Amino acid sequence: MLRAILVVAAAYVIGGIPWAVIVARVTGGPDPRKIGSGRTGGSNAVRALGRRRGVVSGLLDAAKGSVAVLLAFASGAGTLVAMLAALAAIIGHSRSIFLNFGGGRGIAPSFGALLVIEPVIAVAILPVFLGMIWLTKYSSVGSLSASLLAGVLLAVLTAVLPLDPWLYVYAVAGPLLIWAFHHDNIARLLNGTERKVGTPRT
């Protein structure tokens, strides 16, 4: 039990590392918290820092999810703890202790965790994520669509193969967290005020 608590707590702290802010400070870029949505996730990092630095920040954020799951498995804590660690990294990213409980939406660390949990699904949802952004010009639509599809595919794969039943925890809770952290995006999509990809810095 103590090992599980320590792993999940460490995953939350790892998830909270604000890479967009760190990249901005190291490279002399603007603070993403003062631009656009004020979030530190990938889409706002690109808006604030430009594509190259934004992508670097996003990759580092994805690594947080991967590291959290790998840490759990390396500790021998088991699949359930690994799924909880993945969720903790997502929460840490979105409610970072280093940013007064602000942060991103959780997409990058959730994808990074999925790369370790079931890489085939992670690869499969990429075209959906990118395609929905291309079609709608809304990053949030790509994120919401891809996260929902990932959950469905993971649940189906777990049932059909079958895989470890504890994977259902991530299949259900992962998309729920992503959608919860996108609540304001969803509201803006419904009332037609959501920011489109390519919106100038403000």
**Mean pLDDT value of segment 113-133:** 97
Phi and psi at residue 96, in whole multiples of 5°?
Answer: -75, 135
Phi and psi at residue 102, in whole multiples of 5°?
Answer: -100, -175
Can you read off the two tokens belonging to residue 48? 């604030």
What's the CA gap between 48 and 141, in Å, rounded?
20
pLDDT of 43 over the 70 cut: yes
What's the CA gap between 62 and 110, in Å, rounded?
7
pLDDT of 202 over the 80 cut: no
Task: Give every CB contact of residue 26 below 8 A, 6+ residues apart in sequence.
Answer: none
Confidence label for 121 from pLDDT (cuts 50, 70 and 90): very high
pLDDT of 194 over the 60 cut: yes
Q: What is the pTM of this model?
A: 0.93
pLDDT on residue 200: 53
Confidence label for 103 from pLDDT (cuts 50, 70 and 90): very high
pLDDT on residue 92: 97
